[in-house]
């Protein structure tokens, strides 16, 4: 089973990198959005959390980087899997795959490993570009990188299982993007990815707190921002226990929904 899982990972990676337009979008999107928002909001030396002259604050590029890391994870895991699995089901690929000796566990292991490898590559590229092009300071302490590791791994796992579970919702492969993309866009706008989270209306913050992207972005801010920036959060702290709790809750929910709703055949395939 493990050997087949490794082989399935190789197949999934090969299929992924053959879709050049998807590869370019997934790798370039966080970098492009970081450049746009850092440029627009960072004009004339404007900062986040500083006074009118910018003193005491941090550059917008530094503030937005954690959000781009979080949204990159969500794109690679949740959105990518929800769409690709729906398309595979609609085209009959899952039905044919199910008729082979490949265990279901090995199939899902291939999906999980593919998203993990792509996420690591994507985030590494984003951090390199952020440091070299936008002069963003990366963490230097081992504790910060440890926090980065558990938020990244837990966020990737949560996004993966939720993407697999959500893939049952689109009725056809053609409608998958139309169903999944608006959900991702709304969560990005209300979760502190494109804007300073505390600048959003209170009711919008409360809605965002229900979903994992807000906590992934906040967890990443605790890694890339100075300790005093915790005072800029709605709660006045980084809330690491709450971040872990919410992500674990969605991880369990995604597993339950995925097990109950995943289908190998189209709805109209008797």
DSSP one-letter string for the chain: -HHHHHHHHHHHHHHHHH-HHHHHHHHHHHHHHHHHHHHHHTGGG-EES--TT-TT-EEHHHHHHHHHHHHHHHIIIIIHHHHHHHHHHHTTHHHHHHTSS--HHHHHHHHHHHHHHHHHHHHHHHHHHHHHHS-PPPP-SHHHHHHHHHHHHHHHHHHHHHHHHHTTS-SSSTTHHHHHHHHHHHHHHHTTSSS-GGGS-HHHHHHHTTSHHHHHHHHHHHHHS-GGGGGGSTTSS--HHHHHHHHHHHHHHHHHHHHHH--SS-TT--
6: in domain? yes
266: in domain? no
Could you give the number of structural domains in the chain?
1
With 50 as the cut, is the pLDDT of residue 122 above it?
yes
State residue 51's pLDDT score.
Answer: 52
pLDDT in tens, 173-195: 888 999 999 999 999 999 988 88
Q: How far is the C-alpha of 233 from the C-alpha of 246, rounded, in Å?
A: 17
269: in domain? no
270: in domain? no
Mean pLDDT within 133-161:
94
Is 0.85 surpassed by the pTM of this model? Answer: yes
Greatest mean pLDDT range, 16-20, 60-64, 142-146, 166-170? 142-146
39: in domain? yes
Query: Domain span at residue 208?
Result: 2-261
Q: How far is the C-alpha of 70 from the C-alpha of 60, rounded, in Å?
A: 16
243: in domain? yes
State residue 18's pLDDT score.
Answer: 87
58: in domain? yes
Q: How far is the C-alpha of 143 from the C-alpha of 252, rounded, in Å?
A: 27
140: in domain? yes
């Amino acid at each position: 089973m493990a050997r087949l899982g490794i082989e399935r990972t190789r197949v999934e990676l090969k299929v992924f990198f053959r879709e050049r337009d998807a590869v370019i979008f997934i790798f370039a999107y966080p970098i492009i959005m970081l450049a746009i928002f850092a440029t627009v909001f960072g004009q004339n030396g404007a900062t986040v959390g500083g006074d009118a002259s910018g003193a005491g604050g941090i550059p917008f590029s530094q503030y937005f980087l954690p959000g781009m890391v979080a949204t990159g994870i969500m794109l690679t895991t949740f959105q990518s899997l929800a769409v690709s699995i729906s398309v595979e089901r609609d085209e009959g690929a899952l039905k044919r795959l199910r008729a082979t000796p490949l265990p279901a566990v090995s199939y899902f292991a291939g999906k999980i490993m593919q998203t993990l490898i792509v996420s690591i590559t994507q985030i590494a590229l984003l951090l390199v570009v952020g440091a070299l092009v936008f002069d963003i300071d990366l963490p230097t302490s081992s504790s910060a990188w440890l926090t980065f590791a558990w938020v990244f791994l837990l966020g990737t796992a949560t996004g993966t299982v939720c993407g697999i579970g959500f893939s049952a919702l689109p009725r056809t492969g053609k409608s998958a993007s139309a169903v999944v993309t608006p959900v991702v866009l709304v969560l990005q706008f209300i979760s502190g990815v494109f804007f300073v989270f505390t600048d959003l209306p209170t009711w919008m913050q409360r809605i965002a707190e229900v979903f994992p992207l807000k906590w992934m972005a906040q967890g990443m801010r605790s890694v890339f921002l100075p300790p005093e920036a915790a005072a800029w959060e709605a709660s006045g702290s980084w809330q690491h226990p709450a971040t872990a709790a919410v992500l674990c809750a969605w991880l369990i929910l995604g597993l339950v929904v995925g097990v109950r709703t995943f289908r190998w055949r189209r709805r109209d395939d008797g």
